[in-house]
Amino acid sequence: MAVLPDGEYLIKNPETDLYIDLFNGSPEHNTPIVGLPLTKEPNQKWKVSTTNGINEFIIKSSVSGEAFLGLSVIRIFPPRIAAEPIPVRWSIEPVGDGQYRIAFPFADGVVSLPEARPGTQLFNEPFHGSPMQFWQFVQA
């Protein structure tokens, strides 16, 4: 059984009260994915669907077009999170208290909010248990 039911979600970092947001609602390739306060606009809604029935998921923006949660094409460390035009598999893993980490299964990294400032682009960095790496999936 999947750790999270398929559906449309707002993805919130409970430490900062910031939500994963497709910057300016643009589905263009490599658009930054940032943390912003709640707006409930389509750029903050994500369609989450399992690919293996357990914990691997595709995370697609609800904005029209093909914008999937992925890694930026700009090759710096840690990698930035950005829109990709093709589906990328993510591992969504419970960490307790209704919170999850979103791990990139092909590298040692999880979706992280590097600072509590609205508009900060998300990173994919090694998991170290920081609350800035924990996410809640709230039905949209």
Q: Looking at the chain, how many residues does it have?
A: 140
pLDDT for residue 105: 86
pLDDT for residue 107: 82
pLDDT for residue 106: 82
To the nearest whole number, what is the mean pLDDT of the chain? 95
Return the amino acid letter for 61.
Answer: S
Q: What is the pLDDT along the chain (140 residues), one digit of tens a residue?
A: 779 999 999 999 999 999 999 999 999 999 999 999 999 999 999 999 999 878 999 999 999 989 999 999 887 778 899 999 999 999 999 999 999 999 998 888 999 999 999 999 999 999 999 999 999 999 99
β-strands 99-104, 109-112: how paired?
antiparallel
| pTM as predicted | 0.95
Distance CA 131, CA 12 (A): 11
Distance CA 77, CA 16 (A): 23
The string of pLDDT tens digits covering residues 80-118 is 999 999 999 999 999 999 999 999 988 889 999 999 999
Under CATH, which number does the domain 7-139 receive? 2.80.10.50
